[in-house]
Amino acid sequence: MDSSFKSYWQDTIKTRNFAPLQENTRTNTVVIGGGIVGITTAYLLSTQGVDTIILEGGNISTSATAKTTAKITFQHGAIYNDLMTRVGKEKAFQYLDTNRNAITHLNKIITEHKIACDYKTQPAYLYATNNKEVEIIEKEKEAYDNLGVASFYQEKSILPFPVKASLAVTNQGQFHPLKYVYSLADIIEKKGCTIHENTRVLDIQGSKSPFKVITEKGEITCENVVVACHYPFFNDGKHGMYFFRMYQDRSYVLGIRTSSEPFDGMYININNPIYSLRYQFDDKGALLLLGGGNHRTAEKEDEKASYKELELFSHKYFTNPEINYTWSNQDCMTLDGIPYIGQMSSNIKGLYIATGFKKWGMTSGILSAKIISDLIITGESLNTDVFNPARFSVVDSAKNFIVNGLEIAENFIMKLMPISLENLSEVKVGEGKLIDYKNSKIGVYRDEDGNYFAVVPHCTHLGCLLKFNTAEKTWDCTCHGSRFNIFGDVIEGPATLPLKRIELQ
């Protein structure tokens, strides 16, 4: 099994670099984040003559956009019956319609610019493997009918394992997300948009336009700011307190060559364990993308078990599976399962956010770009109330979040058996552990050569206790999903500062 965790998309794209910001400047709109949301927003703005600069802390599209299974669909699991019940038919329809339009927008961009990104029209299937899930699918079918969505309910399936029922929608799609993003980056540069990599944003100053975006490399004065950096990094009260309203969830993908006959379509089941399947076709033939193993970040005792679970599944149902790729992703989850797209804070005009895509980031990314570019260009975006970030009061969110967070923290304190410093040798090679030392904890990792690396295992975002990720050898935070490498450097936010390192004697 390949343990580099490089996705298929990263392995099959020729990347290019963009210079960091060099000096203070002005523009109309700064987009923070160079993933699918940021690049597509910049495209829609620059097409309409809006001066735009993209700032990316690392390299563009190395995070969620590079680690997706790249399905383009409005079928986001069994969501519509649930939405009809919780937010009503009108908002459920808004959710559907904006996602459906996002597929059309994406097709329009790809066709207009002849972008070679392996786009393939596909049906999307929700499938059930037991009677309880069949009931859920039947209710989902009723919701589709109620919302006017053409769909097909079937009791047969071409999947190579027992399926009791499935619900299909046609004219969905799949693509190579990095071929799309890098092609669009070339296009927007020609339209005058500038992309700066390795330019980390430290702060946004101002409560109304013009804003000052402060980076390590200089400042940009602008009329609008779009926060498209996955999880927002602000901890102050005036920026909407998103850390009370979102956590992060991990999922895993195997890229498998197999001698089983490939099938068309994109598939996902309903309840855990989740198994998502679709094929990617290239000059070597068909590569099965098998996704699943989902869990809240830092919630699973042994993350390697998620990869193992997928590997066992592939051996059970596919012939001669050969695993060519293994990678994982991390997604922002909102309290009600609906993304936050629009004005970031109700009292700051000109500051926008797109986040909380709940593992459906490709379609949600395109629709975010459309909504936010409409808001910037025309001042409104029709039928998008359902995504309004102002729908929760911070007090309610804090209450929900704290209850949820505490349950998980307690679980971990029981599971992680700290060992004393004298017993440092109990930290096995390739393993990380929390160790009690003088009434506090330190996080220790031991590498293959027997070297120890120790850090203060408290997240630099808001201080939660970290847990060692056994698969990727990182220190992960259950509260909002920040992740740090064994040296303490940030590899995923919202944390922006490294962990304190400890010298062991």
Kindly list the residues in this chain that would bind ligand FES in the complex (CB under 6 A): 243, 459, 461-464, 477, 479-482, 494-495
The distance of closest approach from Cβ of residue 204 to ligand FES in the complex, given in angstroms and rounded to an integer, is 19
How distant, in Å, are the alpha carbons of 323, 439, 469 from that of 500? Answer: 37, 17, 18
Which residues on adjacent β-strands are paired with residue 280?
287
CB closer to ligand FES, 265 vs 494: 494
The distance of closest approach from Cβ of residue 424 to ligand FES in the complex, given in angstroms and rounded to an integer, is 26
Q: What is the residue whose two structure tokens read 């910037």?
A: 376
CB closer to ligand FES, 213 vs 495: 495
Three-state helix/strand/coil letters over 273-285: CCEEEEEEEECCE
CB closer to ligand FES, 305 vs 462: 462
CB closer to ligand FES, 243 vs 360: 243
CB closer to ligand FES, 71 vs 245: 245
Max CA-CA distance within the chain?
68
The distance of closest approach from Cβ of residue 491 to ligand FES in the complex, given in angstroms and rounded to an integer, is 12
**Do 251 and 333 form a contact (C-beta atoms < 8 A)?**
no
The distance of closest approach from Cβ of residue 241 to ligand FES in the complex, given in angstroms and rounded to an integer, is 12
**Do 167 and 125 form a contact (C-beta atoms < 8 A)?**
yes
* Residue with smallest beta-carbon separation from ligand FES: 459
CA nearest to 353, candidates 235, 226, 243: 226
For 219, residues 6+ apart whose C-beta sits below 8 A from its C-beta are 24, 212, 213
The distance of closest approach from Cβ of residue 233 to ligand FES in the complex, given in angstroms and rounded to an integer, is 10
CB closer to ligand FES, 232 vs 494: 494
CB closer to ligand FES, 83 vs 479: 479
The distance of closest approach from Cβ of residue 303 to ligand FES in the complex, given in angstroms and rounded to an integer, is 17
The distance of closest approach from Cβ of residue 357 to ligand FES in the complex, given in angstroms and rounded to an integer, is 18
CB closer to ligand FES, 119 vs 243: 243
The distance of closest approach from Cβ of residue 479 to ligand FES in the complex, given in angstroms and rounded to an integer, is 4
The distance of closest approach from Cβ of residue 301 to ligand FES in the complex, given in angstroms and rounded to an integer, is 19
Element (H, E) at 330: strand 322-334
DSSP string, 400-453: HHHHHHHHHHHHHHHH---EEGGGGGGS-TT-EEEEEETTEEEEEEE-TTS-EE
CB closer to ligand FES, 390 vs 462: 462
Tell me, what DSSP letter sits at residue 272?
S
The distance of closest approach from Cβ of residue 234 to ligand FES in the complex, given in angstroms and rounded to an integer, is 12
Q: What is the residue whose two structure tokens read 């329809």?
A: 93
Element (H, E) at 123: strand 120-128
The Cα 468–Cα 150 span in angstroms is 46
How distant, in Å, are the alpha carbons of 115, 178, 255, 353, 379 from that of 343? Answer: 31, 28, 38, 6, 11
Helices 36-47, 177-190: axis angle to 10 degrees equals 30
CB closer to ligand FES, 359 vs 480: 480
Q: Quick one: 487 exposed, middle or buried, by C-beta within 10 A (0-12, 13-18, 19+)?
A: exposed
